[in-house]
Structure 1
Amino acid sequence: MDALDLNPDGYGGTYKLVGGRPSLDFVNTISWPDTEREHDWLALPENARRWFAAMELPFPRGKTVDVAPLYKARQLLTRVLRPLAHEQTVPEAALAELSKAVAKAYQSRAIDPRTLAWRWPEPSTAQDALTPLLLDAAELVTAADHERLRYCPSCDWLFQDQTRNGQRRWCDMADCGSRDKARRYYHRTKA
């Protein structure tokens, strides 16, 4: 899994697409959430543009884009998806807010006459660009196997376990998996 070309802005880590779903990778744009190591990969507006391009999602073309809606949507998706991954109850207020946002997102799509697939108009704002992410999150909440929605015990990133045996434990074996195995080995041999 290769690191995405995002500007770390002085941060020592890298960002990888490990979630398996756009909405999960969007939540994961906060590294080490709720710790002193926390880093927001979308703090630089250019990183938002690069992230959407890597996800093959449309993003507004203007040079200056107000990215505040991205932060608000990410907070909402975090309040819904993180509890699901941790096998906790999702707050009703967060579900109601997601439901309202999804209803609005559905109104902006249309059937493409050439492909007969859903398409969204070219986004003119960051809020418009969120439509595919909101719909992906709604599908994850309503139709996906929640048993396969997991979190990394090392960094708390979210992912959908798509392995055949359903035994994926870390966001990325090369990073958190190796670190966790080394830590456990150290504690075993120290005693």
Structure 2
Amino acid sequence: METVEDVTRMRLVGGNLALDFVNTRTGPPAGAPDDDVLTGYAELVAWGAYAGALTATEATALRRLAREDPAGARAAFARALRTRDHLDEIFRTLAAGKNPKASALDRLRDDEAEALGHARLDPTNGYAWSWRDDRTLARPLWPTVHAAVRLLTTGPLDRIKGCGGCRFLFHDESKNRSRRWCSMDDCGTAEKTRRYVAARRTRTAR
């Protein structure tokens, strides 16, 4: 079973908060995921603090609230997983060069409407949206869904890609849009090693 420590060891390679949220499930490029670092509300809060969706103070307050309301924490966690499902559907479809289903976009719209209901325009941050309410268990989702909407509405969407070695999604910010891997330290290195071994076998066979 994954732990809070496992959450803080995962690589944040998506280039966008929403993509990093989708990337909390791991597995091969195609097919179903084979692991999930989010196994409960505590891990969701740990991810939010690690990814920058929550401050340390907000995370502490949410942990305390979850202890006081375990049923509410379970419900908030289940909702977070549903949100992750439709974000995965939207961005994985875009990475494949297709248009997401209207139903998935409608769910994101509804999530964004709720998020903005808890937001305020912060003049200290260039009048950007900010969330200061740490008394609601759904708090980790608000900046996440807002990041998803911003990515969809500002694009460019053809920079949303899937890693060639795993199921991670990322926003390709390279100048020539040539990024193929979630990280050269992980899947990129694994592919280089595979090619090296294959080349050696070919030379040996000759």
- What TM-score range do you get, normalising by the shorter chain? 0.7 to 0.9
Q: CA 1:8 to 1:35, structure 2 compared with 1: closer, same or farther past 3 Å?
A: farther
Amino acid at match of 2:17: P
When Rg is computed on C-alpha atoms for both structures, the one with the higher figure is 2
Is there any run of 5+ residues in structure 1 with no aligned partner, and where? Answer: none
Tell me the equivalent position of 2:121.
111
Aligned to 1:26, which of 9, 21, 28? 21
Q: What CA distance in whole angstroms lies between the structure 2 residues aligned with 1:148 and 1:56?
A: 22
Change beyond 3 A, Cα 1:99–1:74? same
Q: Which residue of 2 aligns with 1:147?
A: 158
Change (3 A) 1:190 1:150: same
Which residue number in structure 2 is paired with residue 124 of structure 1?
A: 135
Q: For each residue in 1:3-23, what CA deviation from the matched residue of structure 2 results, as whole angstroms up to 9, or x when unmatched? A: xx94349xxxx5211101100
Change (3 A) 1:37 1:187: farther
Deviations 1:125-157 (A, max 9, x none): 332321111111011112111121111011120
Q: 1:120 to 1:25 in 2, by over 3 A?
A: same
Q: List 4+ stretches of structure 1 deviating above 6 A.
A: none
Among all aligned residue pairs of Structure 1 and Structure 2, give the percentage whose two residues are the same amino acid. 31
Aligned with residue 7 of structure 1, among 5, 14, 19: 5
Q: Residue by residue, what CA displacement relative to the aligned partner does 1:28-82 show, whole Å, maximum 9, x if unpaired?
A: 0001167577111011433222211112222424243331121111111111111
CA distance in 2, matches of 1:63, 1:104: 20
Given the superposition, is the C-alpha separation of residues 173 and 189 from structure 1 closer, same or farther in structure 2, using an over 3 Å criterion?
A: same
How far did residue 99 of structure 1 move? Answer: 1.6
Select the residue among 93, 96, 104 that pairs with 1:86.
96
What CA distance in whole angstroms lies between the structure 1 residues aligned with 2:80 and 2:32? 22
Partner of residue 100 from structure 1, selected from 101, 106, 110: 110
The 1-side partners of 2:175 and 2:101 are apart by 31
TM normalised by structure 1 equals: 0.83
Between Structure 1 and Structure 2, the one with more helix by share is 2
The whole-number CA distance in structure 2 between the counterparts of 1:146 and 1:108 is: 27
Structure 2 counterpart SS, 1:118: strand
For 2:187 and 2:193, how far apart are their aligned partners in 1? 10
Separation in 2, partners of 1:179, 1:29: 20
Structure-1 separation of matches of 2:124 and 2:164: 45
Cα RMSD between the aligned structures?
Answer: 2.4
Task: Say whether residues 1:69 and 2:79 are aligned partners.
Answer: yes
* TM-score, structure 2 normalization: 0.78
CA distance in 1, matches of 2:121, 2:33: 44
Gaps of 5+ in 2: 68-72
- Mapped to 1, the partners of 2:124 and 2:178 lie a distance apart of 41
Q: 2:66·2:137 contact (CA, 8 Å) conserved in 1? A: no
